[in-house]
Structure 1
């Protein structure tokens, strides 16, 4: 696939369809009920799920079909938290048994999880730049009734 990723119709409606292009009336419409938290997530990941899931669902950015992407974000968050806790009690530079100096593997893990979280934040509207493109009334959520949501 070439070019920009297509923007979901629900997101275009939230933004007010700034490009004024025709909306895709045949786009799949997943159930809008709140997905359940996967049981395999770590404790920190489950806490992050609880913090985000309801808010994202209330503004129309999280549906049943989005469970996997939010779970991936939350698990990356949980692993990042774990790596940061380990870094707080271990040195960032280690000496191997052979006498070589190397960067702590926890730094590599933390950095990788932040990269993954950053990519997924854009998908979920969790970054300041992705949020700046939205105009949502958080109290009542977006009016998607015309679109069937």
Structure 2
């Protein structure tokens, strides 16, 4: 299928671009939750996963369905940290066996990881520009009409 991939309804609502005729009434609505870390993560990566999952859930972004995406982010983050350590140790340029000077291959790995991390961060709203496109609902928009009906006439 050609064209842009469709945005989820919740993201359209948050961004303020939702139009009733373009919304999917049967779209799944996953519940905000803090999922368990994937089994393949080591102890340190599991701690990073848990911390980030809790933070994202507090902001209403994390669901059980997002565990794999956050797991990928944590793996790429680890790879980036390891590549950066090698760049610091060897420098941004290295000599080959033929005495040619080339860019440190770990610098290319680090740059690739940074790009991948940026894409995932944008999906979760972890960058200033991705957050600037999100609008939270006003308190009046989140009121339950049935609750208002039940409380009619009360002074509270």
Is the aligned partner of 1:60 residue 2:67? no
Give the gaps of 5 or more residues in structure 2: 145-156
* SS in structure 2 at match of 1:56: helix
Bigger Rg, structure 1 or 2:
2
| Cα drift, residue 51 of structure 1 | 3.3
User: TM (normalized to structure 2)?
Assistant: 0.75
| Cα drift, residue 19 of structure 1 | 4.1
Cα distance per residue 1:72-119 (max 9 Å; x no partner): 112111111111122222122111222222211110110110111112
* In structure 2, distance between residues paired with 1:121 and 1:4: 20
Q: Is the 8 A contact 1:93 1:101 kept in 2?
A: yes
Q: Is the 8 A contact 2:41 2:75 kept in 1?
A: yes
Matched residue pairs, number? Answer: 140
- CA 1:53–1:12: 2 relative to 1, 3 Å: same
* In structure 2, distance between residues paired with 1:60 and 1:6: 21
Give the gaps of 5 or more residues in structure 1: 138-142
User: TM (normalized to structure 1)?
Assistant: 0.78
Q: How does 1:4-19 map to 2 (within 5 A)?
A: 4-15=4-15, 17-19=16-18
Higher relative contact order (CA 8 A, sep 6+): 1
